[in-house]
Structure 1
């Protein structure tokens, strides 16, 4: 590729470099974890990209009853793993209902790639129901 740059006139070289710089973040930005979380008939769409450090990722309040935390660790178009956490919002502290871990290789399938299927979780004295499903976009097998 550098040989090509040397052969290009200066104006085209600059245009080429600017194009590459502008398109590079788009190529990395297409890796996406898309989750639909439903509680009490209301659905929230939660989307997240890859992170290097999973610990600062915040849990998301779902209807004041549950917390949901999707974490995708990776870089660029590479996914090291996906972890999904679902908590019941209890009096003293949130109670972990489920921790799901997904590791590569992810099969070469359609985009978006179905990851979880539809999950149904129940918690609390009244057995409230949390439903979620997640897909991956832009993942390379």
Structure 2
């Protein structure tokens, strides 16, 4: 009776529920989502919790800027959020904007607009980089 055809559908249902539970837990980990715009083009830069912020790469934004978003911590606790904008210059990129956000962070189901809309200007022509970031996955 243990392996009868009537018991198989229940195993399939339980397996599917286990998979959904696992996916729900995995998707509940914190994520920072930044919408970064330069010259009318918007890119999404995502950040997940890391223990070491230094290896997190910067993202090229339109060949004029570099943007780096870092969340230091783990799935249970975010220690700090760091955002950097660099002007692409020779011989190396130049830091033009840095922001740090510290806990406590609100725990809510909808994403929390952590930065508002930020405008950064750099270079001899004062080129404009616009970004806004939301924090999600910190469940109440």
TM > 0.5: yes
The count of residues paired between Structure 1 and Structure 2 equals 127
Q: Deviations over 1:72-111 (max 9, x none)?
A: 0111132111000000001111110111000110134562
CA distance in 1, matches of 2:23, 2:73: 15
Tell whether the 8 Å contact from 1:28 to 1:77 is kept in structure 2 after alignment.
no
Aligned pair in 2 of structure 1 residues 110, 24: CA closer, same or farther (>3 Å)? Answer: closer
Tell whether the 8 Å contact from 2:67 to 2:86 is kept in structure 1 after alignment.
yes
User: 1:29: how far off?
Assistant: 3.8
Superposed counterparts of 1:9-24, under 5 Å: 19=18, 23-24=21-22
Partner of 1:96: 95
TM-score by length of 2: 0.80
Partner of 1:27: 25
Superposed counterparts of 1:71-110, under 5 Å: 71-109=70-108
CA distance in 1, matches of 2:77, 2:102: 11
TM-score by length of 1: 0.79
CA distance in 2, matches of 1:25, 1:54: 26
User: 1:48: how far off?
Assistant: 1.8
CA distance in 1, matches of 2:132, 2:59: 15
Unmatched runs of 5 consecutive residues or more in structure 1 = 1-11
CA distance in 1, matches of 2:132, 2:64: 18
